[in-house]
Amino acid sequence: MDGSGEAPIVAATVDYDGMPDSRVVGRHGMFPHTTHDDVARINFLAQLNRHLAMNVAPFVKTAWEKRAEPAARAKAGRPAKDRHEVRKALLEDPMFTTWSALRRLTMEQRQQAGRWIAVREAETLAAKAEVLTRGDSRLSLDPALKIPRYVSAVDHHCMPGSYHTELFPGDVSAGANYDVGGFITTGGLLGRWSDGGGRAIVEWVKREKPNWAPKRILDIGATLGQNVLPIAAAFPDAEVIALDVGAPMLRYGLARAKALGIDNVRFVQADASSLPEFQDGSFDWIQTTMFLHELSLTSMNAIFAESHRLLKPGGLVLHVEQPQYTPDMPLYEQAMRDWDAFYNNEPFWSTLHEIDLDARFVEAGFDRPKLIHDKVSADARDIFPAAADDTVEDFGRKAAWRLVGAER
Amino acid sequence: MSIALALDEAGRKPAGKRPYFLDREVERVLAITMAAVQELAVARERIDTLERLLEAKGILARGEIESFAPSPEQAVERGQWTQEYLARVLRIVQQEGEAIAAADKGDLYSEEVAAELTADARG
């Protein structure tokens, strides 16, 4: 690097399969100012996460196979019968507890690193957002909105204050923290604009429904709108509504969308379990991306029912999620995927991935033959050329997900 | 700039009780150590930038750093700094070592001395 401020995007000439410098992340007009040390901290924590996934987690598997599983089997007189027994047996093994302690503190350090940037810059960012969103009808906030218990009880993925807390009126630091620190957990695998989930679903829709021209699209749990912007860009004539309960996310989200030149998204603060402001059959497409696991059973059922009510006949509801725990998934893998549920403040994660989602769709009014199951993935080679060759099992780190949904 | 706010807020505890996987004391020290490890990487990256900028501006060639050998006087200054640094970092080990001999000489807790002094006062 020569100090020109542009990080090289293509990997260096030496053999290197790691992640790029985090400066490859796109810097739009709302992106917080970062110092050299801030960026170095993000680089380090991203590498630490990857190291734990690729160099330490495999030892956890070895420890399970050679040590913890035989010990648990001898003690119980039978193999583990479910993922919870596997997790409890793993908690007795020092490799699992060491990996877990490191993973937990890495999550906490990620939040601290991101908040150090976002809170330090909070007033500047709030002023920028104010200039970009003042008087714009595409931002609808509801200060009276009751924050659901599933958001307020524990802060998801150890993010202090979660999506909704404002440090002062007009604060956007929660959104800025989410944006600036995202690279630490994704390592660039979601692409320059952290929009891999959105690009993945657009690619699926263009392939599976080549002539479809949805006119009205609802994205629920949009956070910054990072995954809905590719949808809005792919369907520029559509009216797109990005819904979230967190005002800082929405404020930041509209400002970010405008800075990126995407004009057809409205950012609305609401709880999607009840949306009386929208008419029956008023949407062609309802989308969520990595959202269902942050709900509760009651709210998820309500959102499924609202989705059924809000969709036009022929409309699609599509959820991008991590895979369900099916009987063919080894119990060890289930237990490792469950880590976030127990140790990274994702309390609904475990239940969501074991329930019969198809049955929930049917209960909400959808026809079983019209349910959708597929895989989707995003290509991050624009900033991370080596990612495509990365074959190590990562329990959720990669830009590859399951698609569950239904046609109305 | 809200440095004071950031100092309070950046490391705030998220809602939800924290799980511990190791002995609480061990996990606390591990977390502190990994924060120090992080800051070493941050300082290392800054030095790397500095070297590259100096090279780009023609002030030095990076090879000069690799081949640099301190003069005897410089080596003494560095050696003294390293001695001081290690003495600071490992102070508790020094003091625990001194405590072995001190115990034989009747080293007491301040609390024990307080009791003794109080007794003297009454006497």
pLDDT computed for residue A2 by the predictor: 46
CA pair distance A300, A51, nearest whole angstrom: 35
**pLDDT of B120:** 67
Shared domain for B17 and B6, answered yes or no, is: yes
Output the average pLDDT for chain B: 89
Task: Write out pLDDT tens, residues B14-71.
Answer: 999 999 999 999 999 999 999 999 999 999 999 999 999 999 999 999 889 888 888 8
Instruction: Indicate the pLDDT class of residue A394, thresholds 50, 70 and 90.
Output: low
For residue A384, pLDDT beyond 60 = yes
* Contact (Cβ atoms closer than 8 angstroms) between residue B37 and residue A361: no
pLDDT tens-digit profile of A46-94? Answer: 999 988 998 899 999 999 999 999 999 999 999 999 999 999 999 999 9
List b or e across B33-45, with b for residues whose CB sees 16 or more CB atoms inside 10 angstroms.
ebeeebeebbeeb
Number of domains in chain B: 2
> Residues of A numbered 279-338 whose beta carbons fall under 8 angstroms of chain B's beta carbons: which are they?
none
Same domain? B17 vs B47: yes
* Nearest neighbour of A44 by CB, restricted to B15, B21, B38: B38
Alpha-carbon distance B78 to nearest alpha carbon in chain A (angstroms): 26
Q: Which two tokens stand for residue A337?
A: 């995927």
CA distance B64 to B67: 5
What are the DSSP calls for A224-237, one per residue? Answer: TSTTTHHHHHHSTT
- pTM of the predicted model, to two decimals? 0.89
Which of A116, A123, A154 is opposite residue B10, by nearest beta carbon?
Answer: A116
Look at residue B121 and tell me whether its pLDDT is greater than 70: no
Q: Average pLDDT, stretch B94-117?
A: 86
Question: Looking at A68-82, A145-159, A278-292, B74-88, which range is the least confident one?
Answer: B74-88
> Is A393's pLDDT higher than 70?
no
B1 in contact with A, Cβ within 8 Å? yes
Contact B52 A1 (CB under 8 A): yes
Answer whether B3 touches A (CB < 8 Å).
Answer: yes
* Predicted-complex ipTM score: 0.79
Q: Which residues of A123-148 are buried (b: 16+ CB within 10 A; e: fewer)?
A: bebbebbeebbeeeebbbeeeeeebb
Residues B75 and B47 both lie in one domain = no
Task: Pick the residue of B23, B26, B38 with the most A CBs within 10 A to test the interface with A by mutation.
Answer: B38
pLDDT of residue B89: 82
Q: What is the pLDDT at residue A391?
A: 53
- Whether residues B22 and B78 share a domain: the answer is no
Reported as type and span, the H/E element at residue A307 is helix A297-310
| Contact (Cβ atoms closer than 8 angstroms) between residue A48 and residue A104 | no
Q: Over 50: is that where the pLDDT of A241 sits?
A: yes
Same domain, B19 and B30: yes
Percent of chain A with pLDDT over 90: 84
| pLDDT of the residue at A210 | 95
Q: Are residues B6 and B53 in the same domain?
A: yes
Distance between A298 CA and the closest CA of chain B, angstroms = 21
B50 inside 8 A of chain A by CB: no
Closest B-chain CA to A121: B1
> pLDDT at position B27, please?
96
Same domain assignment for residues B28 and B83: no
Closest chain A residue by Cα to residue B55: A2
Is the domain of B1 the same as that of B44?
yes
Clarify whether residues B23 and B49 are in a common domain. Answer: yes
- Which residue in chain A has the smallest CA separation from B56? A2
Per-residue tokens: A263: 């004009």
* B64 plus B77 within the same structural domain: no
B47 and B105 both lie in a single domain: no
Q: Is B47 on the interface with A (CB under 8 A)?
A: no
Cβ pair A101, B34 in contact under 8 A: no
SS3 A218: strand
Asked if the Cβ–Cβ distance from A155 to B46 is below 8 Å, we say no
**Total structural domains in chain A?**
1
Let me know whether B78 and B41 are in one domain.
no
CATH number of the CATH domain containing A134: 3.40.50.150
Band of the pLDDT at A98, cuts 50, 70, 90?
very high
Range of the domain at B77: 70-123
Place B83 in a pLDDT band, splitting at 50, 70 and 90.
confident
Burial of A406 by CB count in 10 Å (0-12 exposed, 13-18 middle, 19+ buried)? buried
- Between chains, do A153 and B16 touch, taking CB under 8 Å as contact? yes
How many other C-beta atoms are found inside a 10 Å radius of the C-beta of residue A185? Answer: 18
Using the Cβ of A184 and the Cβ atoms of chain B, whether some distance falls under 8 Å is answered with no
* pLDDT at A389 exceeding the cut of 60: no
B58 interfaces chain A, CB cutoff of 8 Å: no
Structure tokens at A175: 């959104």
Q: Please count the residue pairs, one from chain A and one from chain B, whose beta carbons lie less than 8 angstroms apart.
A: 118
* Chain A residue numbers touching B31 (CB-CB < 8 A): 101, 105, 108
A341 closest CA partner among A331, A350, A330, A332: A350
What is the average pLDDT across A282-303? 96
Q: Does A160 touch chain B (CB under 8 A)?
A: yes
Query: Is there a contact between A102 and B42 if contact means CB atoms under 8 Å apart?
Result: no
* Chain A residues with CB-CB distance to B45 below 8 A: 36, 40, 43-44
Q: Which domain holds residue A348?
A: 1-408
Q: Are A80 and A88 in contact (CB under 8 A)?
A: no
Residue B123, chain A, CB below 8 Å: the answer is no
